[in-house]
Amino acid sequence: MNQRINPRTVAIAQRSFERLRPDVEAFSRSFYTRLFQIDPALEVLFPTDLDSQRSKLVAMLDQMVGHLSDWDALLSESQALGVRHAGYGARPHHYVGVGSALIWALERHLGPHFTPEVRDSWREVYEVFFRAMTDNRGQ
């Protein structure tokens, strides 16, 4: 995988993530609620304590978004996360629902700041996460 993210996309994704920060807990709640509506079969894969799960997701997104311009760091973090996810039962097709839930939660929590440009930037960023997480694992 040899994809770099254009600096404008990085800046837009980072700025919009900053906007979520004051209400990041509500954002992560919306994300999981939406995810389990989209793909109810996923719910059983998750621990019942979603509180700690939510904080781990937010911390990881924070770290990955912070590393969007640091390709080596982003790649190694995402690949390691992808290997752990293979162990959790995540399969490539599951990433579609996760991506939709993420975009949906961003739209909901960014409100008027969720412009088409923000949406497209996050789609691009999520595609990078997805590709790195599912790369080189023979799936």
**The two three-digit tokens of residue 85, written as one number:** 């996810």
> Which residue stretch of 3-11, 19-27, 53-61, 66-74 sits at the interface with ligand HEM (rule: CB under 6 A)?
53-61
Q: How far apart are CA 10 and CA 99, in angstroms?
A: 17
> Which residue stretch of 4-12, 87-95, 103-111, 113-121 sits at the interface with ligand HEM (rule: CB under 6 A)?
87-95
Q: What angle do CA 96, 12, 81 make, to 5 degrees?
A: 45
Q: How far apart are CA 44 and CA 63, in angstroms?
A: 26
> Which residue stretch of 6-14, 19-27, 54-62, 67-75 sits at the interface with ligand HEM (rule: CB under 6 A)?
54-62
Cα–Cα distances (Å) from 47 to 51, 82, 126, in that order, read 10, 18, 23
Q: 114-133: which residues touch ligand HEM (CB under 6 A)? A: 129, 133
Among 61, 74, 106, 110, binds ligand HEM (CB under 6 A): 61
At closest approach, how far in Å is the CB of 6 from ligand HEM? Answer: 19
Among 22, 41, 47, 72, binds ligand HEM (CB under 6 A): 47
71-88 helix and 50-66 helix, angle to the nearest 10 degrees: 150
At closest approach, how far in Å is the CB of 26 from ligand HEM? Answer: 18
Q: How far apart are CA 109 and CA 18, in angstroms?
A: 12
At closest approach, how far in Å is the CB of 30 from ligand HEM? Answer: 15
Query: Looking at this protein, which amino acid is placed at residue 53?
Result: Q
Q: How far apart are CA 101 and CA 104, in angstroms?
A: 5
Instruction: Tell me which residues touch ligand HEM (CB under 6 A).
Output: 42, 45-47, 53, 56-57, 60-61, 81, 84-85, 88-90, 94-95, 98, 129, 133
